[in-house]
């Protein structure tokens, strides 16, 4: 049984459903869809933890748009829940882990009772439990994996066949709560380690020179986010095209600065920022507002600031950081606003062609013909897109190094527990 979602096509869906002995949840998504990417680790976790109760699958509707017309889907992410021969239940829009579990439970699919490590709201121990020997053992293990090329950057913690993300390399597990229990480090720190991507032995050694035993790292994630959102990594305010969002970002930064300085901040002030971010987010559901979507989502997730043991929220925060950096690299590579909106518009173009077809569904030959038509009409953009994708590793390198340097600095300056 797979510990990750089954990747389906519109052609393979029916046979998968016919063979299924359990309810099937199908996630309809697209690579350009920010809410889809936000939900990705939740869907992955569900597939891993619920294999005995539910089969989980994904269909990339940019590659296979016919499935949209078949089920009358007009927006993504959309979840389809199949139980027997009945028409699927559906949920449109991103959900948190708890909301997804509740929605499934409402349709008699209970996935909430999963074995898990005990969860703590706030750490009650020092990093590595104050044990230098534990620190050195984990450091040696992680540096060894980095030297062997076993570590890579993903959108979350992962560990497969002895290879995976930075945090997982320390404990040989992808589970964030196990990471917290073994290392004594906050889950939020683990998510930041993964998104910063300590890939080489030199980078890992520098990390463990800063990451010491006996420290209190609970404020490090917030300090890092204050730096990152305060244009420490990019001139974000100049990229955002909505003055209201820029003002809201400045308001969050001011609240954060007060909190980090030890000044009291009213819970209602944080809640107001979160509520305003949610309202703004509703107006950004367009392909040409992806960066605004990401920042509104970040402000919503960070208002109020989640405790460092809230793994789901910090995973979402890390994912949004990654995709915002991706947008930053597109801008640095000379992509215009129109270029950055084109992948989403491409998806809309395919959907419209499908709606216009006599049967409301495109054959594989028709899809191939439309792909060729779109490519012929957008050859310049495709060349730019392909060149950009090939250069991503090199473009990301200085960004990741800068993030590592800042995180290392914050870790080194953290107080004793």
Kindly list the catalytic residues: 33, 36
Say which residues have a Cβ less than 8 Å from residue 84's Cβ, sequence separation at least 6: none
Q: Where are the beta strands (DSSP E) in 193-345?
A: none
Give the strand pairing for 89-92 and 78-82: antiparallel
CB atoms within 10 A of CB 292: 23
Do the beta carbons of residue 34 and residue 297 sit within 8 Å? yes
CB atoms within 10 A of CB 128: 23
400 vs 120, 198, 393, 405, CA distance in Å?
30, 8, 10, 9
Cis peptide before 77 (omega within 30 of 0): yes
Q: Return the DSSP state at 52.
A: T
Write out 257-271 in H/E/C secondary structure: HHHHCCCCCCHHHHH
Angle separating helix axes 379-413 and 187-196, nearest 10 degrees: 130
Do the beta carbons of residue 103 and residue 95 sit within 8 Å? yes
Instruction: Give the gyration radius of the chain's Cα atoms.
Output: 22
Q: Is the dihedral of CA 359, 362, 365, 367 positive or negative?
A: positive
Do the beta carbons of residue 347 and residue 61 sit within 8 Å? yes
CB atoms within 10 A of CB 161: 6
Say which residues have a Cβ less than 8 Å from residue 281's Cβ, sequence separation at least 6: 293, 296, 297, 300
Q: Return the DSSP state at 321.
A: H
Do the beta carbons of residue 195 and residue 152 sit within 8 Å? no
Classify burial at 138, counting beta carbons within 10 Å of its beta carbon; exposed 0-12, middle 13-18, buried 19 or more: buried
Q: Is 96 helix (H, G, I), strand (E, B) or coil?
A: coil
Q: Which of 215, 294, 304, 233 is nearest to 265 (CA)?
A: 304
CA distance linking residue 134 with residue 127, whole number of Å: 10
């Amino acid at each position: 049984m797979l510990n990750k979602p089954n990747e389906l096509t519109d052609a393979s869906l029916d046979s998968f459903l016919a063979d299924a002995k359990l309810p099937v949840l199908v996630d309809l998504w697209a690579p350009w869809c920010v809410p889809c990417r936000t939900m990705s680790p939740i869907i992955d976790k569900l597939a891993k933890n619920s294999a005995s109760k539910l089969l989980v699958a994904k269909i990339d509707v940019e590659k296979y748009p016919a499935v949209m017309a078949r089920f009358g889907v007009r927006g993504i992410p959309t979840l389809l829940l199949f139980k027997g021969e009945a028409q699927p239940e559906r949920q449109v829009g991103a959900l948190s882990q708890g909301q997804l579990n509740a929605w499934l439970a409402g349709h008699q699919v209970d996935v909430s009772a999963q074995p898990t490590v005990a969860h703590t709201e706030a750490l009650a121990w020092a990093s590595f439990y104050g044990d230098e020997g534990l620190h050195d053992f984990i450091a040696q293990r992680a540096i060894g994996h980095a030297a062997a090329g076993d570590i890579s950057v993903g959108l979350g913690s992962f560990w497969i066949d002895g290879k995976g993300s930075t945090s997982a390399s320390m404990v040989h597990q992808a589970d964030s709560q196990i990471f917290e229990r073994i290392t004594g480090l906050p889950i939020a720190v683990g998510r930041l380690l993964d998104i910063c991507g300590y890939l080489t032995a030199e980078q890992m050694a520098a990390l463990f020179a800063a990451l010491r035993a006996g420290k209190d790292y609970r404020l490090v994630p917030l300090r890092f986010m204050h730096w990152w959102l305060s244009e420490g990594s990019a001139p974000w305010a100049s990229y955002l095209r909505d003055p209201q969002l820029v003002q809201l970002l400045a308001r969050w930064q001011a609240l954060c600065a007060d909190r980090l300085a030890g000044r009291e901040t009213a819970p209602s002030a944080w809640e107001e920022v979160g509520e305003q971010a949610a309202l703004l987010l509703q107006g950004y559901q367009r392909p040409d507002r992806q960066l605004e979507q990401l920042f509104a989502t970040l402000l919503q997730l960070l208002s109020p600031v989640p405790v460092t043991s809230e793994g789901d929220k910090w995973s979402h925060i890390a994912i949004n950081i990654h995709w915002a950096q991706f947008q930053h690299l597109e801008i640095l590579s000379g992509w215009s606003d129109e270029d950055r909106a084109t992948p989403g518009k491409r998806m809309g173009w395919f959907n419209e062609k499908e709606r216009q077809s006599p049967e409301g569904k495109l054959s594989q030959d028709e899809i191939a013909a439309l792909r060729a038509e779109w490519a012929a009409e957008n050859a310049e953009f495709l060349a730019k897109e392909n060149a950009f994708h090939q250069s991503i590793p090199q473009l990301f390198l200085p960004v990741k190094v800068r993030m590592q340097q800042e995180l290392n600095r914050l870790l080194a300056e953290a107080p004793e527990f």
